[in-house]
Structure 1
Amino acid sequence: MAKAPGLREEKKQRTRKALIEAALLLFDEHGYEATTTAAIAAAAGVSPATFFNYFASKEDVVFADQHVYDEVLAQVFATATAEEPVTDLVFRTIGAFATADAWSFPFEHPLTSVRARLLASVPALRAGLLLRNSQVGDTWARALCETHPELDLPEAATIAGAVIGGVQAALHANLDDHGRPRRPEAEVGLRAIQAVMQGFGNVQKA
């Protein structure tokens, strides 16, 4: 059983989450470029110096949960075997991503949608997302190759890249002119994965 965090660690986690929440709310209200790190710190009730104890920049706040991907991949592939079909393994990985406790906010939380809108609309963040998605894809592809030796690295990279890129493209296309999701994001993401893994000829109209 995992050891419960001590009081000091709990305080650090609360402060970190408060900074993320304050930043996303300010980005949503005032815009990413117009929001300063000092404003984020003030909204979270901490000093500017404390902000930089947790994050190096505004961009780092938006990508605060990036570490979760590596953690989830490590957990999933620790129990993966060559007997588990690749398609099942991909869906299990996506399910683990969606339900991981380590995210700052649940998938259905309003601030998750705020983050999605930022990633879709702010050029610097879109560039950062592409880089980070590429890194996640590389890690995922290597793990797939280790578990399923019948896959070479280009094949595994194609699977990981198609899933990651497909979900991101689907979520972006699901946003209306005001950056709000037209349909539930979990539903859109799942159908994107199904389209990639089952083949486009099998996609049924919802």
Structure 2
Amino acid sequence: MVGLRERKKQRTRQALIEAALRLFSEKGFEETTLAEIAAAADVSTRTFFSYFASKEDVVFHDSAERLDRAVAVLAGRQPGDTVAGLLLRLVDESLRWATSEENITFEDARLRLRLVLGEPALQARALQVLFDDQLRLAKALHEAFPERLTPVDAAAAVGAMAGAVKAAIVANLDEERSLQEIYETGRRAAEVALSGVRSLDDAKTPAG
């Protein structure tokens, strides 16, 4: 059971995230100051730094938790799992969590995507996050199927899946009208990408 102190911290963190995204939308990312975000959330600037180190950290506030959840899915491989099947389960669970109304509204999800696409500093951060995440997921996938995948196989499978999902969601940003549509776009892209990954499930032993 979450205690009163922890619930208060969660509310403050969420208030900072919502205030930041609102101000980024109204004023622009570069033009918004940390002091303005803190004031909009009714806390001090010092309190802001208790939760986030920078404005970029607010935009990517859930990156670490999403990655931890994804790695946990791969680590939970069951005896009958195939490579493609496990990766599709990873996509399903990741998209369900990322598009849950409890975590983010559709408006905030679309705003965050637009911010990342339009701000050079956020683009650079997104690329670094993507690169680091894919390396860790590739390692976890290889560890889940050491008898079937080489590190190269695992990296290629993760890269194909992640690239397809992200590219499809960004390409359809103006067409989607709900979190469910974002989920459906991401899952369809994963299915297309994983059709090639299924060839790895036919391999008896990893290639050299």
Asked if Structure 1 and Structure 2 have the same fold, meaning a TM-score greater than 0.5 normalized by the shorter chain, the answer is: yes
- 2:171 corresponds to which of 170, 173, 178: 173
Q: Give the residue type in structure 1 aligned to 2:68.
A: E
| Aligned equivalent of 1:164 | 162
CA contact (8 A) 2:96 2:183 kept: no
> Relative to structure 1, is the Cα distance of residues 107 and 165 closer, same or farther in structure 2, using a 3 angstrom cutoff?
farther
Q: Greater RCO between the two (CA within 8 Å, min separation 6)?
A: 2
- Equivalent residues in 2 for 1:106-185 (5 A)? 106=103, 109-149=106-146, 150-175=148-173, 181-183=174-176, 184-185=181-182
Q: CA deviation at 1:71?
A: 2.1
Q: CA deviation at 1:143?
A: 1.1
- CA distance in structure 2 between the aligned counterparts of 1:47 and 1:114, rounded to whole angstroms: 25
> Relative to structure 1, is the Cα distance of residues 141 and 198 closer, same or farther in structure 2, using a 3 angstrom cutoff?
same
Q: CA deviation at 1:148?
A: 1.1
Indicate the structure with greater helix content: 2
TM-score by length of 1: 0.85
Unaligned runs of 5+ in 1: 176-180, 200-206
- CA distance in structure 2 between the aligned counterparts of 1:23 and 1:73, rounded to whole angstroms: 26
SS at match of 1:99: helix
Q: CA deviation at 1:108?
A: 5.3
Q: Give the residue type in structure 1 aligned to 2:159.
A: G
Query: Within the alignment, does 1:89 sit opposite 2:86 as a pair?
Result: yes
| Aligned equivalent of 2:204 | none
Q: Give the residue type in structure 2 aligned to 1:15.
A: T
> Relative to structure 1, is the Cα distance of residues 105 and 20 closer, same or farther in structure 2, using a 3 angstrom cutoff?
farther
Q: CA deviation at 1:28?
A: 1.2
Query: Within the alignment, does 1:75 sit opposite 2:80 as a pair?
Result: no
For residues 51-81 of structure 1, the C-alpha deviation after alignment (integer angstroms, 9 at most, x for no partner) is 1111110001001101122321243134213
Q: CA deviation at 1:104?
A: 8.7
- 2:42 corresponds to which of 45, 60, 76: 45
TM-score by length of 2: 0.84
- CA distance in structure 2 between the aligned counterparts of 1:46 and 1:69, rounded to whole angstroms: 27
SS at match of 2:61: coil
CA contact (8 A) 1:72 1:97 kept: yes
CA contact (8 A) 1:170 1:192 kept: yes
- 1:22 corresponds to which of 19, 27, 37: 19
CA-atom RMSD in angstroms: 2.0
Count matched residues.
191
- How many percent of aligned residue pairs carry the same amino acid? 42
Query: Within the alignment, does 1:59 sit opposite 2:56 as a pair?
Result: yes
> Relative to structure 1, is the Cα distance of residues 191 and 155 closer, same or farther in structure 2, using a 3 angstrom cutoff?
same
